[in-house]
Structure 1
């Protein structure tokens, strides 16, 4: 039996990769700004085969990708959402052309910095976020108050937050114990404001929080706050093969 290659509408192909809205893309096609395999195409409904046909818009090649993966060094003041009427979102920081269906994997609070994965791979996101998968998230924090070995033990046993929920065991490492302590925390879940609530339950306050790693993927030290880059193939494999 012959294999039938599935075709996609030309306008959908281009719009999916972030090169304008469907309306804008259709107009550009009709204006003669698009080629397929070096042939000028003016029909928005023209069928193209992903990964085979060569498509250009204004002489710029467009490569279709089913999934995209970005590492973002999230700054404070930006929310982990796809859109928001009041605040800048993490997707607003992506200035390069990208798929329209990207989303952040999990949420970092508006005042939390650090590693954030942005993708459109729903299965990967589920596997990274599900408590049943036990994927470690590593954070660095500064804490108002003296962090003690008693706190370390409490984290190891799980901390009661929100009156009706006890966290999974977490690793707390004291880097510096003082009026402002410095610590590293490893958790395997991601409840709303979890780390802040865990320390509040110990009568202490998180004054700075930064995610350093997710699974085996670490934040690239070369990325400045607000910067991002495409994940390397081997980094994607690190996430998938935790």
Structure 2
């Protein structure tokens, strides 16, 4: 199973085998392209544990005792924050919306700065939302290239048939989109409820998939993103920090176990 980049244990830590370009991007907020330009220009220096300078190359794997310096200033990894939140109906995942409450409005005022949602849910969809200040971590979750799995509990308008289950599992063609969806995992909970795990994030995808097989979604709840599962102790509107294991999984990119 693919894994997202781990998060640092301590402020300033260099993780074993972390690439130089990733470390600098993580520490500065610059893009990887900008970082590579900096490194190749000679602006980034790398020193080993004995204090000797070693060649700075974007692909260099760093050791934990190395130091990275940018124009004389040591670079450190700031302590990012990672939260899970149980989103209720009627709340949007954007950071600012004049017409609706946002997921950040559910947090205390002193906890909101720098956070954004790693992926979004529709206004009428409930369940797991991941919030973080770490843009690189959230990119691994939201980028289409990584196929991060999301598991939903779907309540349908009509009983789900075996034909519909087979079609959803194999992939369906959505209206106004000729590309079939990727294979999905489908578990029938009861006649009007199923669990659907997808590894894409197309617009209104779950609702459109059910429409494509002749059914309709009446309620949608996200249970998991990768290996991070919504804590059953969280009521709608409640949140908690991710555990160390959840942070390190970075919302592991395979289907939830």
TM-score using structure 1 length: 0.69
Residue from 152, 176, 185 that aligns with 1:171: 185
2:90 aligned counterpart, secondary structure: coil
Encode CA deviations 1:91-125: one digit per residue, 9 max, x unaligned. 11111522522111111001101010001211111
Residue from 121, 126, 135 that aligns with 1:108: 121
The 1:97/1:50 distance shift into structure 2, 3 A limit, reads farther
Encode CA deviations 1:113-140: one digit per residue, 9 max, x unaligned. 1010001211111111223222211111
Q: Distance in 2 between matches of 1:169 and 1:240?
A: 20
1:160 aligned counterpart, secondary structure: coil
Residue from 158, 161, 165 that aligns with 1:145: 158
2:110 aligned counterpart, secondary structure: coil
Give every structure 1 segment of 4 or more consecutive aligned residues whose post-TM-superposition deviation is greater than 3 Å.
none
Encode CA deviations 1:70-110: one digit per residue, 9 max, x unaligned. 11000000001000011000011111522522111111001
Q: Distance in 1 between matches of 2:109 and 2:97?
A: 20
RMSD: 2.2
Q: Distance in 1 between matches of 2:129 and 2:187?
A: 22
Question: Number of residue pairs matched?
Answer: 180
Aligned-pair CA distance for 1:240 = 5.7
Structure ranking higher in strand proportion: 1
Q: Distance in 2 between matches of 1:50 and 1:236?
A: 22
Q: Distance in 2 between matches of 1:192 and 1:134?
A: 15
Q: Distance in 2 between matches of 1:50 and 1:210?
A: 41
1:84 aligned counterpart, secondary structure: coil
Question: Quick one: higher RCO (CA 8 Å, sep 6+), 1 or 2?
Answer: 2
**Which structure 2 residue ranges, 5 or more long, are not aligned?**
1-11, 13-73
Q: Distance in 2 between matches of 1:160 and 1:135?
A: 20
